[in-house]
Structure 1
Amino acid sequence: MARLVVVSNRVAMPRDRAGRAGGLAVALRESLQQHGGLWFGWSGEINDAPSPEPRRTRQGRVDYAVLDLTTEEHKGFYLEFSNGMLWPLCHYRLGLIEFRRSAWDSYLAVNARFADQLATELRPDDVIWIHDYHFIPLAAELRRRGVQNRIGFFMHIPFPAPEVLAALPGHERLVRDLCAYDLVGFQTRGDVRALTEYILHEAEGTVIGNSGEGDVRIGAFGRELRVGTFPIGIDTQDFAEIAAEGANSDETQRLTESLAGRALVVGVDRLDYSKGIPQRFEAFQHLLGSRPEHRGKVTFMQIAPISRGEVAQYRKLRNELDALTGRINGKFAEFDWVPVRYLNKSFARNTLAGFYRHARVGLVTPLRDGMNLVAKEYVASQDPADPGALVLSRFAGAARELKGALLVNPYDTEHIADALHRALVMPLEERRQRWESMMGVLKVNTISHWRENYLAALQAEGNPAGRGDDNLAGAAD
């Protein structure tokens, strides 16, 4: 039976608890445990004298192998290129990109170094699953080292349209390296379409087959590969159970008491400029200004843990949100009511689930997002007898599945305010109907379903003679 090798920028080590690791990490770890595997990636540590070999840990049937980054690698590969260039590019924020040739060189060099180490860990029948934008060149580097294994790639964030991608120096090399994979998976059909159009119009490639269901087979740079849509899900039933329990937790009870019967609008995001948080604050301000009946009767709580605090754009965003919070509260607050609660801290998964369940409205308005699992978690958390309403950006991948949400243009703050009003006054029967339609989707498209579909597709690709007995998809059940 084939061994699964997972590669990701950060590795969920055995010491990471399930709640801390998150749903994706748990799902990957379960798949590795079920049939044995290797999880390879960055240790999360910076060391200017890193070990020449990965640090290894084993738990059950899973081997963990991690590498440190040097200070220069962390700066060039991680901060300046992966997060300073690729992240804004893929989220259509070209004005935030500052291209540096040294960062591009560092990105390629780190991928080459990781390929050197990974190649020595591989067995001939391993199936390799590489995750996200940090490691786009990794398959090409492995191929240069003679690796013939099946290699799949999954992009968790959006893939930009050709005219946006072309703004990045070195875009041709990135796409050429992407074509070294046997299977490239995206969250939405729009992402598949973006890469396909680039292949056709920029790389002079061809479309060999098109299923019409979000999957295409393309030929480019002397290779054939499948490009498919695999929308990621959550462990729906598990999250619903956690939310039901979390509704009675001390934290949720404290929150409920502090609201004093007021409706709660909740937003939960990593502090990032792609999440549309300033526009969300302005929309709530517009709601209070244009519909005074909501003053004193609704509280907006935004949870936004700080990330990448060393990057100037993120520091600027934090300052902007601090100012917006002060302005809204200064204008509308009463002696017994503060309209905005803005929290720069993380909460445990079960605590968040309890907060979601209590919230009348989930406000999820990214300017662009690959999927956005907060939207799905909010829906899964709801009380079936009295569910809340979801206000969701049309530019989140989740909008393709959650048709029962109130879809909004995240750039139109008045539109968001109107949707908030509608959500707050929505009759119970309508809320139930919308929730049931979304929950039906989430019960089918779980994270296990995503994982199994992807691994089955990867096994079907690059399945040379002599490897037909591998049953990785079945092992993922």
Structure 2
Amino acid sequence: MGRLVIISNRAPSVDGSGDSGGLVVALKDALAKDGGLWIGGAPKQTDAPSPSLIFHHRQDFDIGLFELEPKLYRDYYLGYSNSVLWPALHGRVDLIDVQPCYAAAYREVAGRLARLIAETVRDDDLIWVHDYQLIPLAHELKALGVKSRIGFFLHIPLPDLQTFKAIPDWRDLARWLADYDLIGFQTRRDLGHMINIFRHTLRGELRSNGNMGIAGREVALGCFPISINVDGFRRLAAEGAVNTPAPSLPRLIGVDRLDYSKGLPQRLVGYQKFLESHAAFHGKVSLLQIAPPTRDDVDAYKAIRTELEHLAGHINGRFGTVDWTPVQYIHRALPRDELAVLFRLSRVGLVTPLFDGMNLVAKEYVAAQDAADPGVLVLSQFAGAAEEMPEALIVNPHDPQDIAQAISTALEMPLGERIERHDALYSHLQDHDVDHWCAAFLKRLVSVERLDVDGVARFPGLEPWAQVG
């Protein structure tokens, strides 16, 4: 039995100080069980990158860092990954910025990383690649003769066929995806899109076992909704709230990276419509919007920040008084323990993205609530979380009147209904927490047929970290 090898654009901190991130928390226990390895990008780029992985040993698992030159990193990450793939996969084809150097850098990074990985992995290792920045990796690894099983998980959405075809290199992307042994998605929606893309691009055939037959081999597909440490986040919120005074007014809260996919301007317009039509709530409710900066070097992100600041100022100027600020806007990240308390002490959680793979804020808000007096989650129908959380108030984020009505419904909802909805949501989250997500994916990947070095197919037993209850 080999190691679990995680590969992502960014690696955890070498000293464990940055382990609060969702993906690290989700995977570090599985890595620690058999002395796994996490391979990811070094924090800083250098003009003279190391020709090999830079290894660091932690008590729980090892880390291998790869370095990139600044220009190559910009073209690969800010360029192709976040100016081509990110907008396209979120349905914003109007924001795609096509530059030849971007696609070349994207492929070069995958090829270079594959060569570094091939030097360190063994045939019985299990490789799990994460997210859109590294889609070509299985293709490059198999071209080098790597025989390990290779799984891929897409954390963001996969659009429909016609939107996918707006990507200049869409045929290559489909072929690269087909080189994985298992592809995991957040939602049944995205899984259906992948099946359709494979059918129309690579003449894929859906088999009775749910896999796709493509060019003489099978590609396993699955839906694996990511989650959080539910009970741990609940404890974090409850313990922090003990010494934190409740807000003077019922609070609505939104916590999102400053990104055009999150529907932040649409959310503020919906809140404005609520204030316009519910004068009785003037001076009696407030919205706290936390939107940390992200990718400030990309023009589309500068535009969304300007628009959001304008809308917040407009609402405060129109409705605010000396004693009441309708919108509190924070443009910086807050520590996770502070967010947990803010969620617990907020009557309404607003999670209204235009298109999202999952959106763990929705799950964190529910987990943080006081079960005896819970708040209400308002959730976009286009968030992946909506497939799992029907007890939330589901809204169309493009319709400001729908958002306004949901806010009113949430604020006026009787305690009994709030408890009933929360109990159902929390119970599901407990049964489908982050450990369940990780184990379900690994169990499926372990079961994928693999060719041994001598070319003989075999089906292994389940490794201990792939057991799912």
Bin for the TM-score computed over the shorter chain: over 0.9
Give the aligned partner of residue 30 of structure 2. Answer: 31
Q: Describe the SS at the equivalent of 2:334.
A: coil
Give the aligned partner of residue 187 of structure 1. Answer: 186
Give the aligned partner of residue 231 of structure 2. Answer: 237
1:125 and 1:467 in contact (8 A); partners too? no
1:452 to 439, 454, 469: 439
Query: Using the alignment, how far apart are the partners of 2:191 and 2:468 within structure 1?
Result: 25
Give the aligned partner of residue 412 of structure 1. Answer: 399
Query: Using the alignment, how far apart are the partners of 2:460 and 2:144 within structure 1?
Result: 24
Give the aligned partner of residue 213 of structure 1. Answer: none
Q: Are 2:328 and 1:341 aligned?
A: yes
Give the aligned partner of residue 13 of structure 1. Answer: 13
The more displaced of 29-38 and 399-408 is: 29-38
Give the aligned partner of residue 151 of structure 1. Answer: 150
Q: Which amino acid letter does the alignment assign opposite residue 226 of structure 1?
A: A
1:3 and 1:36 in contact (8 A); partners too? yes
Query: Using the alignment, how far apart are the partners of 1:316 and 1:59 within structure 2?
Result: 41
Give the aligned partner of residue 227 of structure 1. Answer: 221
Query: Using the alignment, how far apart are the partners of 1:344 and 1:367 within structure 2?
Result: 20
Change (3 A) 1:402 1:466: closer
Q: Which amino acid letter does the alignment assign opposite residue 446 of structure 1?
A: D
Change (3 A) 1:188 1:470: closer
Q: Are 2:463 and 1:471 aligned?
A: yes
Alpha-carbon distance, 1:223 to partner: 2.5
Alpha-carbon distance, 1:217 to partner: 0.5
Give the aligned partner of residue 110 of structure 1. Answer: 109
Q: Give unpaired runs (5+ residues) of structure 2.
A: 452-456
Q: Describe the SS at the equivalent of 2:151.
A: strand
Query: Using the alignment, how far apart are the partners of 2:266 and 2:255 within structure 1?
Result: 14
Residues 393-447 of structure 1: per-residue CA shift (max 9 Å, x gap): 0000000011110000000011100000000010000101110111111010100
Give the aligned partner of residue 291 of structure 1. Answer: 278
Alpha-carbon distance, 1:474 to partner: 4.3
2:355 and 2:382 in contact (8 A); partners too? yes
2:6 and 2:39 in contact (8 A); partners too? yes
Residues 346-393 of structure 1: per-residue CA shift (max 9 Å, x gap): 111111010000000000000000000000000000001000000000
Q: Describe the SS at the equivalent of 2:370.
A: coil
Q: TM-score, normalised by structure 2?
A: 0.96
Alpha-carbon distance, 1:221 to partner: 3.3
Q: Write the mapping of 1:432-451 to structure 2, written as runs, cut at 5 A.
A: 432-451=419-438
The more displaced of 24-33 and 351-360 is: 24-33
Q: Write the mapping of 1:395-434 to structure 2, written as runs, cut at 5 A.
A: 395-434=382-421
Give the aligned partner of residue 454 of structure 2. Answer: none
1:179 and 1:221 in contact (8 A); partners too? no
The more displaced of 135-144 and 31-40 is: 31-40
Change (3 A) 1:71 1:310: same
Residues 285-307 of structure 1: per-residue CA shift (max 9 Å, x gap): 11111110111000100001001
Q: Are 2:211 and 1:217 aligned?
A: yes
Give the aligned partner of residue 312 of structure 1. Answer: 299
Alpha-carbon distance, 1:61 to partner: 4.7
Q: Describe the SS at the equivalent of 1:69.
A: coil
1:247 to 241, 251, 263: 241
Q: Which amino acid letter does the alignment assign opposite residue 208 of structure 1?
A: R
Alpha-carbon distance, 1:466 to partner: 6.0
Q: Which amino acid letter does the alignment assign opposite residue 91 of structure 2?
A: Y
Q: Describe the SS at the equivalent of 1:177.
A: helix
Query: Using the alignment, how far apart are the partners of 2:101 and 2:217 within structure 1?
Result: 30
Alpha-carbon distance, 1:472 to partner: 4.8
Alpha-carbon distance, 1:117 to partner: 0.4
Q: Describe the SS at the equivalent of 2:356.
A: coil
Alpha-carbon distance, 1:467 to partner: 6.6
Query: Using the alignment, how far apart are the partners of 1:416 and 1:356 within structure 2?
Result: 19
Query: Using the alignment, how far apart are the partners of 1:188 and 1:267 within structure 2?
Result: 23
Q: Are 2:348 and 1:361 aligned?
A: yes
Report the number of matched residues: 464
2:33 and 2:465 in contact (8 A); partners too? no
The more displaced of 404-413 and 49-58 is: 49-58
Give the aligned partner of residue 46 of structure 2. Answer: 47
1:459 and 1:472 in contact (8 A); partners too? no
Q: Which amino acid letter does the alignment assign opposite residue 460 of structure 2?
A: G
Q: Write the mapping of 1:61-72 to structure 2, written as runs, cut at 5 A.
A: 61-72=60-71
Q: Write the mapping of 1:120-135 to structure 2, written as runs, cut at 5 A.
A: 120-135=119-134
Q: Describe the SS at the equivalent of 2:123.
A: coil
Q: Give unpaired runs (5+ residues) of structure 1.
A: 211-215
Give the aligned partner of residue 2 of structure 1. Answer: 2
Q: Describe the SS at the equivalent of 1:342.
A: strand
Change (3 A) 1:126 1:221: same
Residues 12-47 of structure 1: per-residue CA shift (max 9 Å, x gap): 1233436x5323211211111111111001113111
The more displaced of 236-245 and 465-474 is: 465-474
Change (3 A) 1:370 1:348: same
Q: Which amino acid letter does the alignment assign opposite residue 13 of structure 1?
A: S
Identity %: 44
Change (3 A) 1:195 1:230: same
1:266 to 253, 258, 272: 253
2:37 and 2:64 in contact (8 A); partners too? yes
Give the aligned partner of residue 119 of structure 1. Answer: 118
Query: Using the alignment, how far apart are the partners of 2:125 and 2:431 within structure 1?
Result: 29
Residues 56-77 of structure 1: per-residue CA shift (max 9 Å, x gap): 1001251111112212212211
The more displaced of 194-203 and 337-346 is: 194-203
